[in-house]
Structure 1
């Protein structure tokens, strides 16, 4: 039934069969009679690359905040991911992390985690489970070319296939999960809703990625992350290794203008050796490349503030990258999509398809976006190459405070855990100004700074057996 009316049947349309679209469909399925997903491209029958997701070539992490949300939306999906070879990585226990402030320790106790898997596998597992619900169907090879209705209410979509004229699909609720290429700003303008507030912040980061056959077992192998130090001019290079299914390493290298990676295979490992520490290059020297190098330059942070519009049509909600896309280096995209879908489900459970649902839902799905946006932009604005916004005095003060927390976290489990709770979207940034955390930051790290990567005895044995020696840095 449509918002504000009484009918015996209700229908929702989701634009886009991406992860965000499938999770939105899962959120809708128990609250409407039918959900139809409209996807412009064909979808693979297995965990394989698909058109429309160029970012899948780069390594993806699913943070515990997002993984917990997916488990509620699509029960069993995370267990299936792990059974298919994905790795559950306790973040304060099984990460070798070189922050701008130094090497983080690996603590025996942890509460937050991430799932390391290829984007292709994550998409496939979620998609297959969502489509098992008889209320959810998908139409592929069809493109949405416009919205039906007016500035008061969206009543469906206009679609176009490879053959034949455009047709119309009526719906009580339309969800735009079409990604970075969303046409919603133009569609809303066509309905008489112009002047959309938005932000566009670009650090100029370029991604280069490649998949390798790992020279060591990947199960329980740590995620490697060498971060850039935005405080240093010309030091925008970073990189990491994610242990994924199939005994593989997914490797991504990043750099800002003046230090950007290229698609040249012979330059990939030499770029890795110019990171702030050569650990990634040391490991890759003994790994077998399985793919060519893929480069992506679309790493801009872009956010549309739909929740601020005075006029918002009933029957329409925007989620995922169509609402906000983030610099992928921070790994928040999939988790934000999951948390936004949870917010949508919560609103539907509370009110159903009543008048005012869309406005409330649009505000609700913006909440996890706001947290991830603050974390991403709060770092990117400090790169000297960033366009769209520069760091203010307040931003620089906040950045120094976060840097102090990170420095303390190198030798304080209490602060490391507090920061991880926020980074995994499980806690508000205000939790970092609790008296106990502030007092710990004043004291600084309780243990001395480390001067080398933090591999365990067992991991060093595996490295030795594989003939891998690590540089001093």
Structure 2
């Protein structure tokens, strides 16, 4: 157990920052604040595990999580050395596009011969535990676990702490000089702010009815360095969105995740799990799975609504309070952007408090506005696809959505046959560059020219990879 206690740390009065939520976003926020105050208190409803183990409040952790290089770089800025710690713990550094076999809505991506970006491949349990250990080991951060935040204290002009309820059922106030909400999708910040008299923020939500089904398999012999394999759906086909992916993770395991929108959902049945990927736009994932040994049952998750809260638009935003991570914007996990955005928003917080301190007037509002930039990039990418799925609830595509979608389709089709477009498009999808990158002259010219090479007619697996899949080990 980590820092399990029923009371806040005692001692002389000193500056304290408080973080609501002890997940990845919360721990990165704690790390961002650690040098700016004498004490950081993380309030968490769960009992945080020792080591890379599941926790009750994060059921979606069982599914494949891709941590894009844009997010990894941001996490490194907040926690120097964290990338090496992940790799030492068993995470895979998977080069993109060389380490990815993916069927996009516009065709198969080529693997080319040169890395432009990368993905960190590991279980969410391992990723979180390494960050937790790194943040808590040096001291200065304390976890108040199995404790629920019931509300904020202060006024509409300034937040001064939180009200918490522990296992004893009693409610009490915990004061803080700065408060961050990193409590995730279940955040109650809109309600808490309303009670303080803060005007509500605009909000947009889109629900695809998306269901995730995941099973972990033992990787075949000789599979070290095997690529990510992904068959994506086509949002504009008029059919439910169905996809499947294989993510190589630590300890010689592969996480296989399948997704489906309304009327196309996967089930928790083992036989259905084997059959589902064979019915996709290409059966490659199902074919690869046919000879693998399952290590777990099928896990299902349904909490995948896209939600964006525009706190940066609240004119009289209270001092000393910031919202980040999924509490600010929760994305369809299919795109792998949630963790990267959490890291990038934590990096924004780190830069601001390092430069100005937590007590600077107007800091919270400036930080909230700055966080909108990485959030908007991921949001536009997700909504530009998801709004087209049939039976999506939350409004149909706007004219802007349609124009952007047609343009992105053109870029993706071009990137399947032109390397320069791969670089530019991956800069954006990996969240290493803003969405405006896609309208630079070089990108516009590439889109006009179109693909340099004809489309591939099948998955670009190497002879060695095919031998591994078909039981030939590393031969081939």
TM-score by shorter chain over 0.5: yes
Aligned length: 462
Which residue pairs with 2:379 in the alignment? 373
> Are 1:110 and 2:115 an aligned pair?
yes
Counterpart Cα distance in 2 of 1:242 and 1:200: 28
Query: Per-residue deviation at 1:431?
Result: 1.3
- Does the CA-based 8 Å contact 2:147-2:167 persist in structure 1? yes
Which residue pairs with 2:216 in the alignment? 211
Counterpart Cα distance in 2 of 1:444 and 1:56: 39
Which residue pairs with 2:155 in the alignment? 150
Counterpart Cα distance in 1 of 2:249 and 2:263: 30
Which residue pairs with 1:471 in the alignment? none
- Does the CA-based 8 Å contact 1:96-1:455 persist in structure 2? yes
Q: Which blocks of at least 5 consecutive residues in structure 2 are unaligned? A: 1-11
> Are 1:162 and 2:163 an aligned pair?
no
Query: Per-residue deviation at 1:458?
Result: 2.5
Residue 170 of structure 2: SS of its match in structure 1?
coil
Which residue pairs with 1:296 in the alignment? 301
Residue 93 of structure 1: SS of its match in structure 2?
coil
Which residue pairs with 1:404 in the alignment? 410
Of 426, 437, 442, which residue of structure 2 is paired with 1:431? Answer: 437
Query: Per-residue deviation at 1:462?
Result: 2.3
Which residue pairs with 1:455 in the alignment? 461
Counterpart Cα distance in 1 of 2:473 and 2:99: 22
Counterpart Cα distance in 1 of 2:446 and 2:65: 32
Counterpart Cα distance in 2 of 1:394 and 1:24: 34
> Are 1:56 and 2:41 an aligned pair?
no
- Does the CA-based 8 Å contact 1:110-1:417 persist in structure 2? no
**Paired residues for 1:231-310 under 5 Å:** 231-310=236-315
Of 115, 132, 135, which residue of structure 1 is paired with 2:137? Answer: 132
Which residue pairs with 2:33 in the alignment? 28
- Residues 9-52 of structure 1: CA deviation (Å, up to 9, x unaligned): 31100011010000000000111111011111101111010111
Q: Which blocks of at least 5 consecutive residues in structure 1 are unaligned? A: 1-6, 469-473
Query: Per-residue deviation at 1:218?
Result: 4.2
- Residues 358-406 of structure 1: CA deviation (Å, up to 9, x unaligned): 1111112222111111111111011122111211233222211111111
Counterpart Cα distance in 1 of 2:223 and 2:151: 46
> Are 1:192 and 2:197 an aligned pair?
yes
With structure 2 as the length reference, what TM-score do the two structures score? 0.94
Counterpart Cα distance in 2 of 1:402 and 1:447: 19
> Are 1:385 and 2:359 an aligned pair?
no
- Superposed CA RMSD: 1.6
- Does the CA-based 8 Å contact 2:110-2:460 persist in structure 1? yes
- Does the CA-based 8 Å contact 1:102-1:410 persist in structure 2? yes
Which residue pairs with 1:40 in the alignment? 45
Which residue pairs with 1:344 in the alignment? 349
With structure 1 as the length reference, what TM-score do the two structures score? 0.95
